[in-house]
Structure 1
């Protein structure tokens, strides 16, 4: 649907009737429904085929709405105020104590809720018409996240979708929890740990930042979405990422033997400028290469969706150079690598042994 006033009213009416719609944001497209309605939140889980242990993120369209969805306790208020002033509206989700308005269905039966104030103007307009919206990524659970309205339509042909062109950032928001004067990073995103740290320094706050471990079980309750090792995956293909040294992440599996004979293989190259040695090393003479050196974070999910339509049997992903060389990354490269390893279900292959 084009973003006309008529279509905004149509989508708002669907939402108010406890339905779901596709909503553009600057990160990825969301599957949006009323955050304060248990029935609407249940419909999101049913539509996405999402396990009830995986909580939803609530989206607001102004800072004035925060008290409708969360409780700002005194111990976290200075940190919240600092982060909201710097990164909202934008791609940062803060996990806060939930208000009574948010049903436990939305939070995986936990007393906390992830809240985000998106910067996408179409998302803001829709939320201003409906009130706070729960909006996980608009894809079937575990599938590649959508960064265009067509991607949403591919997963949900029946859905009304506001068309906001391609998502500017292209990966989901950074998810953090504010707890007892500390910040815990549950999901990497565009807002990096370095950016968070600098924000606290500039504000004169002493705040510890820690990372939470990856989960491999959809049965465990998750404090935040995007925690599972298998996520963002191409259907009907084996995906692996390549590294020279063992990746510095838990819950990964090294594939010792890579059989690519008589199989349709492609390589998604996010960082290796000179790849002839790799072609020779893996005997990759008759494969298709996709180079995404220019802003690979924005283009990674788009490329996965494109590759999926071409029915490759094996997809090899070359991470950013720092990750390929050391098995770890920093800043936005680490955020991209987080999506790469999950899209490959944590499977990796050692190159140049």
Structure 2
């Protein structure tokens, strides 16, 4: 494939018509066409066309980062990564999409982005047939089939499919947050988190529900919302069996069993199991009652409480018991009622062992041990 070529570049590729000054560079170039990768990593087996590429790759395993940022001291394994990082400080994005105008810091990112317009997905998985726009995305995907996670954190031993995921993970240890919001200066560990945050300021909600049309700022919020239509609740409590649509709601629920209340009111000292409960409580001190009933004028600190209140006016009780037919205004009230049929009592007293079907019943019972009920009776 080499032909003689007059002039300063005597080595000429007949495939793509690129010329080279010396044979060594010509030989390396020809591997682009032949696919030859004679240099293999002894750790993970990844192969490379040049020895220099292998040496750079080895640093992902050794952790060597000889290139440091003079602005924030962040270190990188290659000079090209350092140059890309500098653009997070300068904000420089010299590569723009001719179709939608979105700008990128590297030409490689622009080329990958362009495939979202052409819908070109030339890289297919031989196992499941899923297609990808870049070969790197395909390589990451293949590891979901093999289970191979060659990049390990030397601090906590967590393993990852890609080196980029490992780098993002390291920031959970270092606390590094190199991506700052230009509006409010909040900082984030990843650029994707910053982009999601920016939508709070712009109000952009690019993800719409196909069922009801409600829009969301992130795809994950849309997926969570969609479960309200499907009824899917994949997160179950191992203690009482109640299922939830999100893991965060399950975590909040677990506090009802553990009794943990790690959020403290700075005004009165009351403790709460979740930050959202604390924020709702703080409105009692601030006098903020943002949700008002249009029928009777009663105000509420949360929209959820307002919606429950509205059912007093409408008489709506959409949650019915399949056993006895009794109806309830909320699904949580129905669940508590169902325990009268099943006999389930997931809330035991830690002092005497008596169990109750609802947490409110347990709280009332606890007063018999603390003496609070006795004090009330004496005063009456």
Shorter-chain TM-score above 0.5: no
What TM-score comes out, normalization by structure 1 length? 0.25
What TM-score comes out, normalization by structure 2 length? 0.23
In our comparison, the structure showing a higher alpha carbon Rg is 2
